[in-house]
């Protein structure tokens, strides 16, 4: 079967929402950390991406409003199942684009 016969994945977010999500390197880094299938608190996420907890919280709010992450008991953040990479991969298919989270940000 050729690639042209494969139906594209239905977008979970609008193109404008994907652009907002991916427009800041901090949000890319947060997605990468959360894509490792962990639940993490704001402080630890901030430490891992090199941002203050307050700055990290602002980016997490954007991700929450887009429905990409949720917060659970104990203020632990987790990537929503629809946005988790397949096991053994570091890519997320947004429908409009496929994002690799394992590369270095420049």
Q: For residue 24, what is the domain's CATH number? A: 1.10.10.10
Residue 3 inside a domain? The answer is no
Domain that holds residue 40: 12-100
CB-based contacts of 10-14 (< 8 A; 24+ apart in sequence)? 10/95, 11/94, 11/95, 11/96, 12/67, 12/82, 12/83, 12/94, 12/95, 13/66, 13/67, 13/68, 13/94, 13/95, 13/96
What does the pLDDT look like over 48-96, one tens digit per residue?
Answer: 999 999 999 999 999 999 999 999 888 899 999 988 888 888 888 888 8
* This prediction's pTM: 0.83
> Could you give the number of structural domains in the chain?
1
- Domain assignment present for residue 7? The answer is no
């Amino acid at each position: 079967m050729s690639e042209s016969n494969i139906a594209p994945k239905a977008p979970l977010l609008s193109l404008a929402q994907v652009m907002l999500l991916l427009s800041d390197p901090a949000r890319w880094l947060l997605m990468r950390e959360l894509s490792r299938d962990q639940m993490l608190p704001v402080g630890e996420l901030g430490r891992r991406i090199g941002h203050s907890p307050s700055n990290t919280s602002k980016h997490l709010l954007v991700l929450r409003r887009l429905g990409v992450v949720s917060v659970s008991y104990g203020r632990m953040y987790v990537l929503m199942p629809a946005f988790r990479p397949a096991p053994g991969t570091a890519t997320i298919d947004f429908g409009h684009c496929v994002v690799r989270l394992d590369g270095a940000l420049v």
